[in-house]
């Protein structure tokens, strides 16, 4: 789903893409990250699973559809925890972040991605810069520090 942006807003003149993102949380506190498939902008970067919200979908519906398409798992309840925005050269995106604690099915990388369960702070690099604020909040919840500047140095510019 892409919406018009008010003329005074950052990214004015470009559409804004609405994205549903899942923070799949394992009982031991690990979160699931996966790599962006070849052919997409920022291919190879690590991200939380999710994708663009289509017209008429709620965030939860979009997330459920995306995770079946990408990972082959069906998520249980998901509600929005945080909303962030990131301005990439390829798009201005608004990210609707949901914590997900229940899912069914076996993980299957249906788009040729790699996946990794990661404790905070994550050790995989590079991570999409649009995910840094959420990594920071997750680390803070655990009483840890996540240095955005260090992650940026590790990841380079996206």
Ligand X SMILES: Nc1nc2c([nH]c(=O)n2[C@H]2C[C@H](O)[C@@H](COP(=O)(O)OP(=O)(O)OP(=O)(O)O)O2)c(=O)[nH]1
- For ligand X, the binding residues (CB under 6 A) are 19, 21, 40-41, 47-52, 86, 88, 91, 93, 95, 128, 130-131
Q: How far is the CB of 49 from ligand X (least distance, A)?
A: 6
Question: Judged by CB, which is closer to ligand X: 48, or 146?
Answer: 48
Closest CA relative to residue 51, chosen from 96, 15, 13, 12: 96
User: Residue 115 to residues 34, 37, 48, 76: CA-CA distances in angstroms?
Assistant: 4, 11, 10, 20
Q: How far is the CB of 41 from ligand X (least distance, A)?
A: 6
Question: Judged by CB, which is closer to ligand X: 95, or 98?
Answer: 95
Mode of pairing for the β-strands spanning 92-100 and 79-87:
antiparallel
Residue nearest to ligand X (CB): 130
């Amino acid at each position: 789903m892409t919406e018009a942006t008010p003329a005074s807003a950052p990214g004015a003149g470009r559409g804004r893409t609405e994205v549903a993102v899942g923070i799949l949380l394992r009982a031991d506190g690990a979160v699931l990250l996966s790599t962006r498939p070849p052919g997409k902008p920022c291919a190879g970067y690590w991200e939380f699973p999710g994708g663009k919200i289509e017209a008429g979908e709620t965030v939860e519906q979009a997330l459920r559809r995306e995770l079946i398409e990408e990972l082959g798992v069906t998520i249980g309840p998901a509600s929005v925890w945080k909303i962030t925005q990131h301005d990439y050269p390829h798009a201005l995106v608004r990210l609707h972040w949901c914590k997900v604690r229940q899912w069914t099915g076996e993980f299957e990388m249906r788009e040729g991605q790699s996946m990794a369960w990661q404790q905070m702070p994550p050790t995989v690099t590079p991570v999409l810069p649009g995910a840094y604020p959420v990594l920071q909040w997750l680390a803070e919840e655990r009483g840890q520090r996540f240095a955005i500047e260090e992650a940026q140095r590790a990841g380079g510019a996206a």
